[in-house]
Amino acid sequence: MVRGEASILIDTEASRVFDFVATDFVNNYKRWSPEVQRLDLLTPGPLRVGSRARQIRVDQGRKSDTTFKIIALETPSRVGFVEQNGQYRTEYHVEPAGEGSRLRFYFELKRLDLYMRPFEKLIRVAIQDGAERVVRNIKGLIETETPRSSTGPS
């Protein structure tokens, strides 16, 4: 198993971060993960445990077509996905942190094919870099789009 994880502080309330990542996943996923060329929700209605989606990605020149399902949706703190064949699992955790929130992202590649094992170290680095990029992208999008509230006197 190869795992990457990253955490970042975001200058907005946790409910806004959760809504951006989970509630509005279909609209926002391609924005924070530009490797996603196409995303199709296969289950009608709002995102919920058991919902399925198909994505086409191009990562470092390699195209992949996978189907995944939602395995956890705990408003307002956690959403998790697993690839239908168990190749990978991702989770986003959101928690209050002072006046803002902390976003934690986890990605697990469950197994490496035999021919990929000589490249395990490079794959680990790429997965970790990808995890850090995901949280930075989400932070940038949210903080750019969310007006700061004024708490002091005018």
CATH number (domain holding residue 80): 3.30.530.20
| E strand or H helix that includes residue 7 | strand 2-10
Q: How many domains does the chain have?
A: 1
For 93-132, the pLDDT digits (tens) are 999 999 999 999 999 988 777 667 777 788 788 889 999 9
7-45 per-position pLDDT tens digit: 999 999 999 999 999 999 999 999 999 999 999 999 998
Structural domain of residue 47, as residue ranges?
2-145
Residue 150 lies in a domain: no
Q: How many CB atoms lie within 10 A of CB 38?
A: 10
Q: Examine residue 30 and state whether it is found in any structural domain, yes or no.
A: yes
Cα–Cα distance measured from residue 73 to residue 56, given in angstroms and rounded to the nearest whole number? 23
